[in-house]
Amino acid sequence: MSFQIKEQPIVYDVCIVGSGAGGGMAAKVLAEGGAKVALIEAGPWYDPADPKYITQLKNPWESPRRGAGNHRPFGDFDAAWGGWEIDGEPYTRKKGTEFDWFRSRMIGGRTNHWGRISLRFGPLDFKRKDVDGLGDNWPIGYEDVKPYYDKVDRLVGVFGSVENIPNEPDGIFLPPPKPRLHELMIKKAGKKLNIPVIPSRLSILTKPINNERGSCFYCSQCSRGCQAYADFSSSSVLVKPAIKTGNVKVFTNAMAREVLTDKEGIATGVSYVNKDNGQEYTVRANVIVLAASACETARLLLNSKSSRHTKGLGNSSGVLGKYLHDSTGASRSAFMPHLVDRQRYNEDGVGGAHIYSPWWLNDKKLDFPRGYHIEYGGGMGMPGYGFGFGMENTNGKYAGKDGKIKPAGGYGLGLKEDYRHFFGANVGMSGRGEAIAREDNFCEIDPNVVDKYGIPVLRFQYKWSDYEIKQAKHMQDTFEELLLEMGGILNGTKPGPESNYGLAAPGRIIHEVGTTRMGDDPSKSVTNRYSQLHDSRNVFVVDAGTFVSQADKNPTWTILAMSMRASEYIIDQRKKANL
């Protein structure tokens, strides 16, 4: 086989790399605006309503490993094709630092399995430096993004409640589902402790919003992809409508290698390797929109070197890849003695908790900057692999069905009864907080390692600072207070300094942002306030790479709003012949 790069005869108006939240939104807005779009995705096609792909409503016995997560990281039924480790697509870490990088290779990317937590950044979140002097402000503010949040709410659908909390802007909400039993208990405890507990804000349709998508039927399995299209995933909600315009051509299993530039340094297209046949292709386009995910986009730009862009495309500032930050995360759980022997009913509900706690201490002086929100778990969920593990730590501590405490462990009918007795009696909670973006947390190209397609891979350097560690400590104290107030008996021992208070390794929360951050000063940022590269005006970044800071909010809603904003800007600039 000769080594030959196959060139597409057509020049597209736009080439988008990546089909997740950012890429899907760009494809939809641009295609509906009349642009001819090439959409490049590193994984295969996916449609959660096609029986080929459906895992929703499958029972655990339909998986030989009962849904265990030893292959797909979130379990056999999870709709993420990829994970923290992908065969043949390595990444490396600088010695003594950690970062775990989650990638989904499929149409819709990570939106197919995410938690659907759809929070707007608030006015403070864009200007945190003004408050604590750390990191940097965004070049734009809430008022710039608000119209797009509104449009995203209407287009995608999100449930929630109007609360008028200053830094938690309300959206255009569908009705939220009522709390589950343990969630009512959390709410009550929160009230006592002055911790707000309000309805979750999730992009799940509790009411139909159009004829293309059904409404939620409460199986709690959004992470498996929804055959009724009742939750948001880029594949179902953005990419498919974009294709329907007739203006989008999708290239699946296409792993982008480089953004190509001409002698003047202007981007002319994208080269990719077709994973199906191993051959090289190029797609030519007038505008390039990168949405491969914060780190994958940084990698693509860093690998796009030319005489004009010697440090990589868009990297004259040297900032590309820097200021990488992920959410902080820590968790705790407790056993609720008053929840044993519960009456049975179907409380699967929507995917995820029906309630959450937005950050409530903006006005208080604490020993760490920024804040976190709390996500809750518990209830009579469907058993999967791991169900029943550790009974020997439970049934010797708490009375069984007959009111007596048995010796821990055991076997036989009494043990069998214990599993039934204790079912649904645990409550857990996790904090998701804002880390400070730092120049010395970054990804760069590893000079020695390539992936199986010959593409140089990323090397990460990332360390938590005292800020994040102290925040995790505060989380643990709050979790204990809440769980004890609920009448719970804490599981395990309280994570202390030896484990950074249970602070998850960077990358584990899968909210990584900041690698191509935006700013008005080209020497300190990669893109301008319209997500456009300072160094190459026909290249845009519409994933979370442009985030200057990440708030304690899950990034997806802001990715969608910012991608819509950038896409409308592209249309506007094309009309004015500036692009």
Partner 1 sequence: MKRRDTLKALSLSAITATIAGTEAHADVPKKPVAPPSLSDFKNGKSAAELARDAKIAAEPFFSVHEMQTIRLLADFIIPADGQFGGATEAKVGDFIGFIVKDMPQHQTPMRGGLVWLDTQCAKQFGKKFVACTKDQQIKMLDQIAYPEQAKPEMSQGVAFFNLMRNLTATGYFTTEVGFKYLGYVGNRPNAWDGVPAEVLKKYKLSYDS
Map the footprint of partner 1 across residues 328-347, applying CB under 8 A: 338, 342-347
Burial class (CB in 10 A: 0-12, 13-18, 19+), 215: middle
Six-digit token string for 6? 């196959």
Give the one residue of 50, 466, 477, 520 binding partner 1; rule: CB under 8 A: 50
Nearer to partner 1, 154 or 397 (CB): 397
CA distance 490 to 552: 25
Contact stretch for partner 1 (CB under 8 A) within 70-78, 305-313, 445-453, 489-497? 70-78
Nearer to partner 1, 191 or 575 (CB): 191
| Chain CA centroid to CA 102, Å | 10
Considering only residues 351-380, where is the footprint of partner 1 by CB under 8 A?
380
Per-residue burial over 479-513, b = 16 or more CB atoms within 10 Å of its CB, e = otherwise: beebbebbebeebeeebeeeebbbbbebbbbbbbb
Minimum gap (Å) between residue 86 Cβ and partner 1: 12
Minimum gap (Å) between residue 345 Cβ and partner 1: 6
CA distance 23 to 334: 40
Considering only residues 270-299, where is the footprint of partner 1 by CB under 8 A?
274-279, 281
Give the one residue of 16, 17, 350, 562 binding partner 1; rule: CB under 8 A: 350
Residue 45: phi, psi to the nearest 5?
Answer: -65, 150
Q: In the sheet where 442-450 sits, what is the strand order?
A: 92-93, 456-461, 442-450
Backbone conformation region of residue 269, classed left if phi is above 0, alpha if psi is from -120 to 50, else beta: left
- Residue 11 as a binder of partner 1 (CB under 8 A): the answer is no
Provide the residue count of the chain: 579
CB 117 within 8 A of CB 352: yes
In the stretch 514-553, what mask flags binding to partner 1 with x, by CB under 8 A?
----------------------------------------
Considering only residues 165-194, where is the footprint of partner 1 by CB under 8 A?
177-181, 184-185, 188
Give the one residue of 74, 84, 218, 398 binding partner 1; rule: CB under 8 A: 218
Considering only residues 413-472, where is the footprint of partner 1 by CB under 8 A?
413, 415-416, 419-420, 423
Give the one residue of 203, 247, 253, 316 binding partner 1; rule: CB under 8 A: 253
Half-sphere exposure of 211 (CA within 13 A, CB side): 0
Please, where are the H alpha helices in 103-229? Answer: 128-132, 142-156, 181-193
- Residue 88 as a binder of partner 1 (CB under 8 A): the answer is no
Nearer to partner 1, 393 or 578 (CB): 393
Rg (alpha carbons) of the chain, rounded to whole number = 24
- Residue 161 as a binder of partner 1 (CB under 8 A): the answer is no
Write down the residue that tokens 């040297």 correspond to: 318
- Residue 102 as a binder of partner 1 (CB under 8 A): the answer is no
Give the one residue of 134, 165, 391, 457 binding partner 1; rule: CB under 8 A: 391
Contact stretch for partner 1 (CB under 8 A) within 131-139, 386-394, 432-440, 550-558? 386-394
- Residue 71 as a binder of partner 1 (CB under 8 A): the answer is yes
Six-digit token string for 209? 């919003």
CB 436 within 8 A of CB 465: yes
CA distance 360 to 239: 37
Query: Which DSSP symbol is given to 327?
Result: -
Contact stretch for partner 1 (CB under 8 A) within 52-60, 457-465, 516-524, 553-561? 52-60
Give the one residue of 11, 66, 137, 146 binding partner 1; rule: CB under 8 A: 66
Contact stretch for partner 1 (CB under 8 A) within 91-99, 309-317, 404-412, 470-478? 404-412
Name the residue type at position 579.
Answer: L
- Residue 400 as a binder of partner 1 (CB under 8 A): the answer is no
